[in-house]
Amino acid sequence: MTLIALRAGVRWVQYRQKDKSRRQLYEEALGLRRLTADFGAVFIVNDYADIAAAVDADGVHLGQDDLPIAEARKVMGGDRIIGISTHSIKEAVEAESAGADYIGFGPVFPTLTKDAGEPKGVKSLREIKQAVRIPVVAIGGISLKNLPSVISAGADSVAVASAILKGDIEENAGEFLRRIGKFSRKI
């Protein structure tokens, strides 16, 4: 699936796996690092700064209950990307103050990918964008149908899983990239 998305033009890949041993996580992450490097894509490991560092990932994406940003920075080094999931203005401002390079905000819409709580909506996304200066990645239930509202609310990027993985991955990823490209030319 990752290979197909990369061939379609996806250039950021986040590895998120919750049900495997740390050894399995490492081995899969290592394979994905090699694959993403072949495409010049950014590779982010979810939750585990040590595994991200061990496989030479471009960065780590933390949850609110993961290693604090300052500690992840010690593990990752100053030149790696550190992102963190946020669900409120308070969390977003704290993440920026702690040195996050970007925040993931959401879920913006209902999502089946994970239990992420009540949807926050595009109004909250707009408020987050006004509260922080670092990039904001909209997460949760992003589809081709609601993409324009997310971009209009100020999202710097979107994290998409289900809308790409259900059906023809190459076609779905390509359509997201085409539409995002149209929006970015208008900004």
- The 10s digit of each residue's pLDDT in 120-149 is 999 999 999 999 999 999 999 999 999 999
- The 10s digit of each residue's pLDDT in 75-95 is 999 899 999 999 999 999 999
Q: What is the CA radius of gyration of the chain?
A: 16
pTM of the model: 0.92
pLDDT score recorded for residue 1: 83
Domains of the chain: 2-186 (3.20.20.70)
Residues assigned a catalytic role: 16, 85, 114
DSSP 144: T
Closest CA to 159 of 7, 10, 2: 10
- The 10s digit of each residue's pLDDT in 29-71 is 999 999 999 999 999 999 999 999 999 999 999 999 999 999 9
